[in-house]
C-alpha cells in the first residue's frame, strides 16, 4: 500500500461521504458546502490519477465558481428562510433505482478486463496543452461558444421584465 | 501583391461594418438618432430627441448625445476615406501592372464534392480601368453625398450602405471566377435595393426598391442558370478554364447559344435593357447621389461589363450576339424617345441612362466589346456628372419637375456650366468624351450593321434633343416661382464646395476622358479576354462622324428653337386648364403642350413609356396575383388546411389519451429516464458479457 | 514504511505552512501599524517591548484567551466553517511558493494554476461567515467580498496568463529559470500593473476594502466574530497578502534571482518591498464606492487585461518567441 | 483502476438518488453536479489507461467541467426565475407546462 493508495482511499471516503451527506441533509447550505468538500476530494482523486491540471481546473471552476454561484443563488433566493427543507421523499422507489444503477455500474467495473496502468508520463501539462490547441482545438473553441451562450442565456433569464 | 488586391474591396467593407455596428450600437444604447426616437412614442417629448435632428435645431440648445453627433459627422468622411483608400490601392496595383506584372490572387475557398470553389481576384488592364472608374466616381459621389445628405435622419445608415455598395462593386470588377462574380453581383443588387428604399417611409420608395430587386432577379436567375450550366459542362468556376473550354472544344449542342443568352439575361436585368428596364426609372426614388453612382455610372454598367468579361463565351455564338445587338439597339432607340417627354429631370436622366446602356449593348452585339467598354468608361463620368448636377439643383430648390424649375443659371452658375458640359458630352459633340466613344461604336457599326447604325443615329438625335431640352428649360429663361418658395424663405443658391468640387472634377473628366481613345481600352481588353488582335476596333468611315455630329447639333438647335428662343411657358389660363385638364399645367413648357396636341396618341404612348409597366401589371402581375389568391383562398384554405386540421384532430385525440403521463413534475421525468437508462444498460451489458 | 514517511512529511509541511502564516501575521500586523504610523506622522505602538516589538504577540495572547462568542441565531456549522475555509486557502497557497530554488514545499507542474485556484476557495468561507452570522452587516460584507473577488479574479488571471505565455510553463521553478536574465516586469509592465491592482482588490485592502468598510458595514463579514476565530480572519488576510506579494515577486520580479546574496534573501526582500507597497497604498488612498468598484472591474480592468493579453500575444508572435 | 471505477459508480448512484428524492431545485443541481463529477472521474481514469499521451479523456473532463459551469449558470438563473415566480425553489410546485 503506497502513499497514493492511502490517499486514494481517504479521498474516496471523503467524496462518497460528502456526496451522501449533501444529498441527504435537510439544510440547503450544508448541502452546498458538502458539495464543495466533495468536489475538492474529487480534485484530489484527479491529482492522484496524474491529471493535476484537471484537478486545478476542478478547484478553480467548481469550488471557486460553481459552489460560490450556488451559495449566491441560495442567499438571493432564501435569505430570510433558514428552516430546514422538506427531506427526501419517495425513498423506497428511488433507492431501488439507485441501487440498481449503482450495482450495475459496480458490477460492470469489477467484471471489466482493464489493461495494466502504463508507466507515468513526466508531466501532463505539455501534452494537455498540445491536445487542447491541436487535436481538440474545436472542442476547446466550442466550449468557449457554449459558455458565451450560457452567459447570455443566464442574463436574459434573470433580467427584470423591463428591457 | 495579391493582398493589395484583396485590400481594395476590403477597405470600404470595413467602413461598412464600422458604420453599421456603430450605428446599431448607438441605437441600442438609446442614444439613437431620430429614427430610434421616432419609433418610441413616449420619447418624443425628450429634448435630446428634438435636438438630435440637425435641421430642426432652431437655436435650441439641448442635451444632444455627443456620440451620435460625432458619428453622424464622421460617417461621411469615413466612407470617403474608405473609398479613397480603395482607389489608391487600385492605382498602386495598376501601376504595378503597367510595370509588366499582372496582379492576381487565387485560393481555394471551399470544396463541395469534386467542385472546388475558388476565391480569385485579378487585376490587369480591364479590371484596373474599372477600378479607376468605380473608385473615382465613387469617391466623388461620396464626397457629394456628404453635402447632399447632410441632415438626413439616417445618414449613418446611408453611408454604411454606400460603402457596402462600393465594396461589392469593386469586388465585382476584380472577380476572376464565377462564384465571386455572382456573390458580388448579388451584393450590389442588395445594396442597390437598400439605397433605393433609403427613404423607406415613402411608399413609392419602398415599392421602387422592391420592384428593382424583383425585376433584376429575373435576370439574375438567368445568370445563375448560365453559371450552373457552365459548371456542369466544364466542371470549373474559374474564368480562364471556362473560357478555354468555351473556345476549344466549345460548349456542346444548344448550350453554345443558350449559355451566352442566359448570362446575357443577367446583363439585361442589371443594365435595364428591354424588356427588364422598368425598374430603373422607378429607382430614381433613391437619393440622387445614389442614382448617380449606382443607377448611372457603375452598377447598371455591370451588365455590360459582365458580357465584355465573358465575351469568349459569346464569340462562338453569333446567334446570341445578334439577339444582344437587337435588344441593345431597340433599347437605345425607345428609351431615347421616352426621354423626350418626361417631366421629372431624374426620369429623363434615367431613360437617358437606359438608352446609353443600349448603345453599349449594341456595340457588344456588333462584336466590338472594346468600343462598348470605352462608352461605359466615358459614360460613367458624364452621366454621374449629370446626375450630381441634377442633385445639386434638387438639393438647392427641393423640386425636381421641369414645370417648376427655370432660370437657374444666375443662381447656380457652377451647376449650370457643369451640367452643360455633361449635356455636350452626352450629345456627342466634340471634343467632349461622349463624342469619342459614340463615334467608336457608330464607326464599328458602319462596317456591317446598317440597321443598328440607323437606329442608333436616330437615338443620337433624340438624345441631343432631350438633354438640351432639360438644360434650356431648367437653366435658361425666367425664374419660375413655385408655391412655397416664399414660405421656405431661403433663396435658392449654389451648393457648398463639398458638392461643387465633385461637379467640377467630373466636368473636367467629361471633357477630357475621351482623349484616351478606344485603343487605350482595346489593348488591355483584348489581352484580358484572350481575343486575337484581328478583332481590334477599326476606325469607321468619315461620313459616320459627320452625320452623327450633325444630328447631335441638329438636336441641340431644335431644342433651342423649341424651348429657349421664346421662353414660353404654359400659363395658368383658366380656359385651357378647364378644356384640357392634365395637358396644360401651370409652368409646363409650351412646346411640350403643342407637341402633345399635334401628335395625339403617339405622344401619350411615348409619355407613358410605351405602357410597358401597364402591360406588365395587366398581363404578368394581375394573373400572378389572381393565381396567388386562388391558391390562398381555395387550395390553401380548403385542401392544405383540411389536411393540417385533420392531422391536428388526430393528434389531439391521441394526445388526450397520452396526456396523463405528462405530470409536469421534473422528478417523474428523471425517474422515467433512469428506468430507461437501467434497461438499456442492462441490455448492453448483457449483450457484451 | 515509506508510506508512513510520505504521509508524515505532508503532515509536517502543513504544520510548517500554518506556523509560517502565524508568524507572518504577527510580524505584518506590527509592520502595518508602524508603517501607518509613519505615514500619519505618529510613532505607533511603543510600550510593549523595545519600540513596541512585542505588541502583536501580546495581542495574540489576549485574543486566544478571549471568550468565544457566538450569536444566538447563528448557523452553528457555517459559523465554525467560515473562518476555517477562509484561512486554509491562504495557508495552502504557501505550498507552491519557491523561496529559493530548492526551498519549495511542492514543486507542482501546475503551480501557477494552483496559486490562482486555491485562494478562490476563500470566497466560500467569506460567504459562509457572512451568512452564518445572521446579521445584515455581515451578510452584505460577505456578498460584497465574494462579488468583488470573483470580478477581479478574471483580469488578474488574464494578467498572469501573459506571464505563462512568455515563460511557456506553469511550473513556478521554471518561471524563476526563465527570469534569470530579465525580470518580466520589464517585458510585461502592463500585466504587472493589472496584477498589482487586482490583487489589492482580491485581498480586500484599501482602496478596495468595501467588504469591511467600517463606516458602512461595521467590520463586514467578521463583525460577529471574536477571539480565535477572529484572529483566523486576520491570519487569512495577512497570509493571502504575503502569498500575493510572493507571487508578484515570482511572476514579475524574478523571484530569488539576484547577485551575491542567497536566493532566499533576495526573494524575501523583494516580496517585502511589494508588501510595503500594498501598505503604502492602503494608508494613502481613500476607498471606492461599491458600484465604482464593480464598474472598475468589468469596464476597465477586464477590457484592459484582454487588450494586454492580445498585445502580448501579438508582440510575442512578432518577435518569434 | 478498478477501485476508481467502483468509486465513480457509487458516486453516480448517490447523485441519481439525490435527483430522484429531493424537491429543492438547488439540491437537485447539487446532485446533478455529483453525477457529472462521477463521469469526469471515469474519463480521467480511462485517459490514464488508454493513450495517456493523447489526453483525450482529460480534455473531455475539462470540457465536462466547462459544460457544468454553463449548466450551473443557466440552472441557477432558472432557479432564481422560479423563485421569483413561485416564492420558493421547490420544483414540485413548478409543474405548469405553459408560461
**What is the predicted pLDDT for the residue at B390?**
87
Q: Which residues of C touch A64 (CB under 8 A)?
A: 117, 120-121, 123, 150, 153
| Closest CB from B663, B670, B674 relative to D95 | B663
For residue A128, with 0-12 CB atoms within 10 Å meaning exposed, 13-18 middle and 19 or more buried, which class applies? buried
Determine the Cα–Cα distance for residues D10 and A23; give it in Å rounded to an integer. Answer: 13
- For residue C74, the 8-state DSSP code is S
Name the residue in chain A with its Cα closest to that of B28: A163
CB B95: neighbour CB atoms within 10 A?
Answer: 11
Stated length of chain D: 99
D25 falls within a domain: yes
A46, HSE (Cβ side, Cα atoms, 13 Å): 29
Inter-residue contact D71 to D32 (CB < 8 Å)? yes
Query: Which structural domain range is residue C259 located in?
Result: 69-319
Residue B81's contacts (CB-CB under 8 Å, 6 or more residues apart) are: B15
With contact defined as 3+ CB pairs under 8 Å, the chains touching A are: B, C, D
**C-alpha distances in angstroms, B249 versus B235, B256, D7?**
14, 11, 73
Instruction: Give the side-chain half-sphere CA count within 13 A for B681.
Output: 17
Give pLDDT, residue B586: 60
Interface touch D14/A98, C-beta < 8 Å: yes
Going by the DSSP 8-state scheme, the letter that residue B104 receives in this structure is E
In this prediction, residue B573 carries a pLDDT of: 45
Total domains, chain C: 1
- Write the CA distances from B686 to A98, B675, B678, B679, B689, integer angstroms: 19, 16, 12, 10, 6
Give residue B112's pLDDT.
Answer: 72
* Helices and strands: H and E segment counts in chain B: 31, 2
pLDDT at B339: 83
- Cα separation, A5 vs B212, whole angstroms: 78
A48 touches chain C (CB under 8 A): no
Residues of B in contact with D12 (CB under 8 A): none
Q: Radius of gyration of chain D from Cα atoms?
A: 17
- Which chain D residues touch A36 with a CB distance below 8 Å? none
A64 part of contact set with chain C, CB < 8 Å: yes
- Whether the CB-CB separation of B181 and B172 falls below 8 Å is answered with yes
Question: How far apart are alpha carbons B421 and B427 in whole angstroms?
Answer: 10
Cβ C53 vs Cβ C30: under 8 Å: yes
The residues with which B589 forms a beta bridge, in sequence order, are B569
Cα dist from B614 to B609, D31, D37, whole Å: 10, 72, 73
Does the beta-carbon distance from D95 to B667 stay under 8 Å?
A: no
pLDDT number for residue C122: 83
Longest dimension (CA), chain A: 63
Segment A72-121, tens digit of pLDDT: 888 777 644 566 666 667 778 888 888 888 888 888 888 877 777 777 66
Q: Is A44 in contact with A6 (CB distance < 8 Å)?
A: no
For residues D58 and D44, give the distance between their C-alpha atoms in angstroms, rounded to a whole number: 5
Residue B634: all three cell numbers together: 381555395
In a domain, D35, yes or no: yes
- Provide the domain count of chain D: 1
Cα dist from B670 to B568, D28, D30, whole Å: 91, 11, 15
Residues 6+ apart with CB under 8 A from B542: none
Chain B (667-686) residues lying within 8 Å, Cβ to Cβ, of chain A? 667, 671, 674-675, 677-678, 681-682, 685
Measured CA distances, A7 to A3, A82, B501 (Å): 6, 36, 84
Q: d(Cα B55, Cα B69) in Å, to the nearest integer?
A: 13
Burial B605-640 (b: 16+ CB within 10 A, else e): ebbebeebbeeeeeeeeeeeeeeeeeeeeeeeeeee
Host domain of residue D66: 2-91
Domain holding D24: CATH number? 1.10.287.3510
Which of chain B's residues have a Cβ under 8 Å away from the Cβ of D23? 667
Cβ contacts from B onto D, under 8 A:
22
Instruction: Write out chain C's pLDDT in tens, 321 residues.
Output: 577 777 787 788 888 888 888 888 888 888 888 888 888 888 777 777 777 777 777 888 887 787 777 777 777 777 888 888 888 888 888 888 887 766 666 777 788 888 888 888 888 888 888 877 777 777 887 888 888 888 888 888 888 888 888 888 888 878 888 887 888 887 788 888 888 888 888 777 766 666 565 656 666 677 777 777 788 888 888 888 888 888 888 888 887 777 777 778 888 888 888 888 888 888 787 777 777 778 888 888 888 888 888 888 888 877 765
C-beta neighbour count of D82 within 10 angstroms: 18
Question: At A86, phi and psi to the nearest 5?
Answer: -60, 135
Distance linking the first and last C-alpha atoms of chain B: 65
- Chain A residue with CA closest to D51: the answer is A118
Give the C-alpha separation, B286 to B141, whole Å: 14
Query: A130-162 in b/e burial notation, b at 16+ Cβ within 10 A?
Result: ebbeeebeebbeebeebeeebeeebeebbeeee
3-state SS record for B435-452 = HHHHHHHHHHHCCCCHHH
- Give dist(CA B597, CA B577) in Å, integer: 14
Please report, rounded to a whole number, the percentage of residues in chain D having pLDDT higher than 70.
Answer: 90
D31 in contact with A, Cβ within 8 Å: yes
Among the listed residues B131, B129, B128, B158, the one whose alpha carbon sits nearest the alpha carbon of residue B146: B158
In this complex, the residue of A29, A63, A125 whose CB is nearest that of residue C110 is A125
DSSP reduced 3-state for C109:
coil
Which letter, b or e, does each residue of C247-285 get, where b requires 16 or more Cβ atoms within 10 Å of its Cβ? bbbbbbbbbbbbeeeebeebbbebbbebbeebbebbeee
pLDDT at D38: 92
Give the pLDDT of residue C260: 74
Which phi and psi (to 5°) does residue B538 adopt? -110, 150
D96/chain A closest Cα distance in angstroms:
18
**DSSP state at residue B16:** H
8 A C-beta contact, residue B617 and residue B341: no
Whole-model pTM? 0.55
Q: What is the CATH topology of the domain spanning A1-87? A: 1.20.120
- Count of residues in chain A: 163
CB B265 within 8 A of CB B224: no
pLDDT of residue A86: 66
According to the model, what pLDDT value does residue B56 have? 41
Inside any domain, residue D20: yes
ipTM (interface pTM):
0.74
Nearest CA to D73 among B613, B501, A61? Answer: A61
Whether residue D96 is contained in a domain is answered as no
All three cell numbers of C128? 459562509
Tell me the C-alpha distance between C29 and B475, whole Å.
Answer: 91
- Cα distance between residue B266 and residue B130, in whole Å: 19
- Joined together, the cell numbers standing for residue B432 give 467632349
Among A62-71, C92-101, C148-157, D27-36, the range scoring the smallest mean pLDDT is C92-101
B109, B173, B237, B241, B364 from B177: Cα distances, Å:
11, 11, 6, 9, 21
Where are the domains positioned within chain A? 1-87, 123-163
* Residues C187/C199, Cβ–Cβ less than 8 Å: no
Q: Is A135 on the interface with D (CB under 8 A)?
A: yes
In this prediction, residue A38 carries a pLDDT of: 92
**Element counts in chain D: helices (H) and strands (E):** 3, 0
Average predicted confidence (pLDDT) for chain A? 81
Whether residues A102 and D10 touch (CB distance < 8 A) is answered with: yes
Closest CA relative to residue C133, chosen from B345, A29, B622, B18:
A29
CA dist A122 and A124 (Å) reads 7
Q: Check residues A8 and C203 and name the one with the higher pLDDT.
A: A8
B581, exposed or middle or buried, with CB in 10 Å at 0-12, 13-18, 19+? Answer: exposed
The 10 Å Cβ neighbour count of residue C168 is: 13
Return the C-alpha cell found at B579.
378644356
- Residue B111 Rama label (left phi>0; alpha psi -120 to 50; beta): beta
Average confidence (pLDDT) per 10 residues, chain B, 689 residues: 72 81 69 42 40 40 55 80 84 68 73 78 76 86 83 81 88 87 89 86 84 87 90 84 82 85 89 83 83 82 86 85 89 86 85 89 84 84 87 81 75 84 85 82 81 87 87 76 50 74 84 68 60 53 82 85 67 47 60 73 76 79 85 81 86 81 76 87 79
Residue in chain D lying closest to B663 (CA):
D95
Query: Cα B449 vs. chain centroid, distance in angstroms?
Result: 30
Interfacial A residues in 25-84 facing D (CB < 8 Å): 28, 31-32, 34-35, 38-39, 42, 45-46, 49-51, 53-54, 57-58, 61-62, 65-66, 69-70, 72-74, 76-78
Q: Report which DSSP code applies to C297.
A: I
CB contact under 8 A, D70 and A146: yes
Phi, psi angles (nearest 5°) of residue B401:
-105, 135
DSSP 8-state assignment for residue C118: G
Strand partners, B177: B238
Amino acid at each position: 500500500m503506497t502513499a497514493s493508495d492511502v490517499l486514494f482511499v481517504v479521498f474516496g471516503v471523503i467524496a462518497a461521504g460528502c456526496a451522501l451527506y449533501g444529498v441527504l441533509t435537510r439544510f440547503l447550505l450544508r448541502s452546498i458546502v458538502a458539495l464543495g468538500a466533495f468536489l475538492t476530494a474529487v480534485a484530489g482523486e484527479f491529482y492522484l490519477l496524474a491529471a493535476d491540471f484537471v484537478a486545478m481546473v476542478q478547484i478553480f471552476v467548481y469550488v471557486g465558481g460553481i459552489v460560490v454561484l450556488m451559495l449566491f443563488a441560495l442567499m438571493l433566493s432564501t435569505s430570510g428562510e433558514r428552516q430546514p427543507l422538506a427531506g427526501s421523499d419517495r425513498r423506497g422507489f428511488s433507492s431501488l433505482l439507485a441501487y440498481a444503477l449503482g450495482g450495475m455500474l459496480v458490477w460492470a467495473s469489477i467484471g471489466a478486463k482493464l489493461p495494466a496502468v502504463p508507466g507515468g508520463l513526466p508531466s501532463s501539462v505539455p501534452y494537455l496543452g498540445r491536445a487542447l490547441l491541436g487535436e481538440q482545438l474545436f472542442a476547446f473553441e466550442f466550449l468557449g461558444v457554449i459558455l458565451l451562450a450560457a452567459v447570455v442565456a443566464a442574463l436574459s433569464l434573470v433580467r427584470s421584465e423591463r428591457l | 501583391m495579391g493582398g493589395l488586391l484583396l485590400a481594395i474591396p476590403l477597405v470600404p467593407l470595413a467602413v461598412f461594418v464600422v458604420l453599421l455596428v456603430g450605428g446599431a450600437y448607438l441605437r441600442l444604447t438609446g442614444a439613437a438618432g431620430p429614427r430610434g426616437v421616432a419609433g418610441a412614442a413616449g420619447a418624443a417629448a425628450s429634448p435630446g430627441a428634438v435636438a438630435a435632428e440637425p435641421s430642426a435645431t432652431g437655436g435650441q440648445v439641448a442635451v444632444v448625445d455627443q456620440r451620435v453627433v460625432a458619428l453622424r459627422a464622421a460617417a461621411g468622411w469615413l466612407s470617403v476615406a474608405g473609398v479613397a483608400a480603395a482607389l489608391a490601392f487600385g492605382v498602386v496595383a495598376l501601376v504595378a501592372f503597367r510595370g509588366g506584372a499582372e496582379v492576381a490572387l487565387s485560393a481555394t475557398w471551399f470544396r463541395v464534392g469534386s467542385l472546388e470553389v475558388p476565391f480569385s481576384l485579378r487585376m490587369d488592364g480591364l479590371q484596373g480601368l474599372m477600378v479607376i472608374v468605380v473608385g473615382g466616381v465613387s469617391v466623388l459621389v461620396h464626397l457629394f453625398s456628404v453635402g447632399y445628405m447632410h441632415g438626413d435622419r439616417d445618414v449613418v445608415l446611408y453611408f454604411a450602405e454606400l460603402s457596402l455598395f462600393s465594396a461589392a462593386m469593386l469586388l465585382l470588377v476584380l472577380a476572376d471566377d464565377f462564384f465571386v462574380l455572382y456573390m458580388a453581383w448579388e451584393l450590389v443588387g442588395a445594396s442597390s435595393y437598400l439605397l433605393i428604399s433609403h427613404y423607406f417611409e415613402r411608399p413609392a420608395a419602398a415599392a421602387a426598391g422592391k420592384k428593382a430587386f424583383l425585376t433584376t432577379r429575373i435576370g439574375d436567375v438567368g445568370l445563375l442558370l448560365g453559371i450552373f450550366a457552365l459548371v456542369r459542362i466544364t466542371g470549373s468556376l474559374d474564368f480562364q478554364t471556362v473560357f478555354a473550354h468555351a473556345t476549344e472544344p466549345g460548349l456542346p449542342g444548344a448550350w453554345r447559344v443558350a449559355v451566352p443568352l442566359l448570362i446575357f439575361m443577367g446583363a439585361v436585368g442589371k443594365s435595364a435593357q428591354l424588356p427588364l428596364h422598368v425598374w430603373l426609372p422607378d429607382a430614381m426614388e433613391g437619393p440622387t447621389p445614389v442614382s448617380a453612382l449606382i443607377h448611372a455610372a457603375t452598377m447598371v454598367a455591370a451588365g455590360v461589363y459582365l458580357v465584355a468579361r465573358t465575351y469568349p463565351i459569346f464569340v462562338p455564338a453569333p446567334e446570341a450576339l445578334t439577339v444582344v445587338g437587337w435588344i441593345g439597339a431597340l433599347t437605345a432607340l425607345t428609351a431615347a424617345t421616352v426621354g423626350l417627354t418626361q417631366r421629372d429631370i431624374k426620369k429623363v436622366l434615367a431613360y437617358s441612362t437606359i438608352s446609353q446602356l443600349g448603345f453599349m449593348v449594341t456595340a457588344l452585339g456588333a462584336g466590338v466589346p472594346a468600343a462598348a467598354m470605352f462608352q461605359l468608361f466615358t459614360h460613367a463620368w458624364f452621366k454621374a456628372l449629370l446626375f450630381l448636377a441634377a442633385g445639386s439643383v434638387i438639393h438647392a430648390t427641393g423640386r425636381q419637375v421641369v414645370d417648376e424649375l427655370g432660370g437657374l443659371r444666375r443662381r447656380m452658375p457652377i451647376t449650370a456650366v457643369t451640367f452643360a458640359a455633361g449635356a455636350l458630352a452626352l450629345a456627342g459633340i466634340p471634343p467632349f468624351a461622349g463624342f469619342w466613344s459614340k463615334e467608336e461604336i457608330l464607326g464599328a457599326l458602319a462596317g456591317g450593321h446598317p440597321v443598328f447604325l440607323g437606329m442608333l443615329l436616330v437615338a443620337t438625335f433624340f438624345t441631343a434633343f432631350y438633354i438640351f431640352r432639360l438644360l434650356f428649360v431648367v437653366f435658361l429663361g425666367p425664374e419660375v416661382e413655385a408655391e412655397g418658395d416664399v414660405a421656405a424663405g431661403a433663396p435658392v443658391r449654389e451648393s457648398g464646395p463639398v458638392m461643387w468640387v465633385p461637379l467640377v472634377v467630373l466636368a473636367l473628366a467629361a471633357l477630357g476622358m475621351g482623349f484616351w481613345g478606344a485603343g487605350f481600352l482595346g489593348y488591355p481588353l483584348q489581352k484580358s479576354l484572350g481575343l486575337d488582335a484581328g478583332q481590334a476596333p477599326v476606325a469607321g468611315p468619315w461620313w459616320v462622324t459627320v452625320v452623327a455630329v450633325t444630328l447631335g447639333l441638329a438636336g441641340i438647335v431644335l431644342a433651342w428653337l423649341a424651348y429657349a428662343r421664346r421662353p414660353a411657358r404654359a400659363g395658368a389660363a383658366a380656359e385651357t386648364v378647364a378644356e384640357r385638364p392634365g395637358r396644360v399645367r401651370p409652368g409646363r413648357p409650351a412646346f411640350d403642350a403643342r407637341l402633345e396636341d399635334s401628335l395625339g396618341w403617339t405622344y401619350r404612348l411615348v409619355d407613358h413609356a410605351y405602357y410597358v409597366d401597364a402591360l406588365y401589371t395587366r398581363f404578368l402581375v394581375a394573373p400572378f396575383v389572381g393565381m396567388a389568391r386562388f391558391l390562398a383562398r381555395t387550395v390553401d384554405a380548403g385542401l392544405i388546411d383540411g389536411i393540417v386540421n385533420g392531422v391536428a384532430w388526430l393528434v389531439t385525440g391521441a394526445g388526450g389519451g397520452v396526456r396523463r403521463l405528462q405530470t409536469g413534475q421534473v422528478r417523474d421525468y428523471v425517474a422515467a429516464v433512469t428506468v430507461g437508462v437501467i434497461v438499456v444498460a442492462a441490455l448492453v451489458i448483457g449483450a457484451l458479457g | 514504511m515509506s508510506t508512513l514517511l510520505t504521509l508524515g512529511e505532508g503532515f509536517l509541511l502543513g504544520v510548517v505552512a500554518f506556523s509560517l502564516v502565524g508568524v507572518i501575521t504577527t510580524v505584518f500586523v506590527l509592520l502595518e501599524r508602524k508603517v501607518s504610523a509613519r505615514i500619519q506622522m505618529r510613532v505607533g505602538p511603543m510600550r510593549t517591548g523595545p519600540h513596541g516589538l512585542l505588541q502583536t504577540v501580546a495581542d495574540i495572547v489576549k485574543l486566544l484567551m478571549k471568550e468565544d462568542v457566538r450569536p444566538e441565531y447563528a448557523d452553528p456549522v457555517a459559523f465554525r466553517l467560515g473562518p476555517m475555509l477562509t484561512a486554509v486557502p491562504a495557508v495552502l497557497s504557501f505550498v507552491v511558493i519557491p523561496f529559493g530554488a530548492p526551498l519549495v514545499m511542492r514543486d507542482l507542474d501546475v503551480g501557477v494554476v494552483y496559486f490562482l485556484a486555491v485562494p478562490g476557495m476563500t470566497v466560500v468561507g467569506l460567504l459562509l461567515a457572512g451568512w452564518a452570522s445572521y446579521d445584515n452587516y455581515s451578510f452584505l460584507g460577505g456578498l460584497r467580498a465574494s462579488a468583488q473577488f470573483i470580478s477581479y479574479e478574471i483580469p488578474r488571471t488574464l494578467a498572469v496568463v501573459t506571464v505563462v505565455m512568455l515563460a511557456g510553463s506553469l511550473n513556478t521553478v521554471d518561471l524563476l529559470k526563465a527570469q534569470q536574465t530579465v525580470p518580466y516586469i520589464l517585458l510585461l509592465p502592463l500585466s504587472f500593473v493589472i496584477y498589482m491592482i487586482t490583487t489589492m482588490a482580491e485581498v480586500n485592502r484599501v482602496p478596495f476594502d468595501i467588504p469591511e468598510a467600517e463606516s458602512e458595514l461595521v467590520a463586514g463579514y467578521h463583525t460577529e466574530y471574536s477571539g480565535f476565530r477572529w484572529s483566523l480572519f486576520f491570519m487569512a488576510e495577512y497570509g493571502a497578502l504575503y502569498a500575493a506579494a510572493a507571487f508578484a515577486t515570482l511572476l514579475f520580479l524574478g523571484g530569488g534571482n539576484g547577485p551575491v546574496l542567497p536566493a532566499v534573501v533576495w526573494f524575501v526582500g523583494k516580496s517585502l518591498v511589494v508588501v510595503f507597497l500594498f501598505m503604502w497604498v492602503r494608508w494613502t488612498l481613500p476607498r471606492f464606492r461599491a458600484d465604482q468598484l464593480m464598474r472598475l472591474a468589468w469596464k476597465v480592468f477586464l477590457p484592459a487585461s484582454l487588450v494586454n493579453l492580445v498585445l502580448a500575444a501579438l508582440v510575442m508572435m512578432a518577435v518569434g518567441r | 483502476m478498478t477501485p476508481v471505477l467502483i468509486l465513480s459508480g457509487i458516486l453516480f448512484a448517490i447523485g441519481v438518488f439525490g435527483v430522484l428524492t429531493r424537491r429543492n431545485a438547488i439540491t437537485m443541481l447539487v446532485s446533478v453536479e455529483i453525477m457529472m463529477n462521477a463521469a469526469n472521474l471515469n474519463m480521467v481514469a480511462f485517459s490514464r489507461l488508454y493513450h495517456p499521451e493523447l489526453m483525450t479523456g482529460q480534455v473531455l473532463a475539462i470540457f465536462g467541467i466547462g459544460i457544468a459551469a454553463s449548466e450551473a449558470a443557466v440552472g441557477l438563473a432558472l432557479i432564481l426565475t422560479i423563485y421569483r415566480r413561485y416564492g420558493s425553489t421547490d420544483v414540485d410546485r413548478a409543474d405548469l407546462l405553459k408560461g
